[in-house]
Amino acid sequence: MVKIYNRLHKAIGTLTYFTMHSWEWSYSNLDMLTSHMTPEDKKVCLRSHYSFLLMLFCGYIQARIQAGALPARAPPKKRKRKREREREREERREEARRKQYVQ
C-alpha cells in the first residue's frame, strides 16, 4: 500500500508544475494564413488537415505493428477461476505456516 502511495505521490508531484502554471500559445502564423483565405479555402484546408493527421496516425500504428512493437491484437484477458484463486491463497498460507514452523 505504501509503495502505491509513493508512486501516486511522485506522479502528482511531477504534474504539479504543469497544472499550476498558465500556458499561452501563439498562433500568429496560422492567424495570418487564415485571414488571407476565403471561406471555401478554409473548409477544404480543415478537411484535408484532419485527413492528413488521420493518415499519419494510421501509418504510424501500422509501422509499429510491423516492427513488432505493438501486438496486432490485444491479448485476451486471463481470468482465473474462483477455485484457482482459492487454491493459490491456500498454498501461500501453507507456505507461510511452514516458514513459521521452521523458525
* Mean pLDDT in residue range 49-53: 75
Mean pLDDT lowest among 46-50, 56-60, 70-74, 94-98: 70-74
Residue 25 domain flag: no
The verdict on residue 16 lying in a domain is: no
Domain interval for residue 46: 38-70
61-96 pLDDT, tens per residue? 788 778 777 766 766 666 667 788 888 889 999 988
Q: In this prediction, what percent of the chain has a pLDDT beyond 70?
A: 88
Does 57 reside within a domain?
yes
- Mean pLDDT of the chain, nearest integer: 80
Residue whose C-alpha is closest to residue 30's, from 47, 45, 20, 10: 45
In a domain, 56, yes or no: yes
Q: How far apart are CA 7 and CA 12, in angstroms?
A: 9
How many structural domains compose the chain? 1
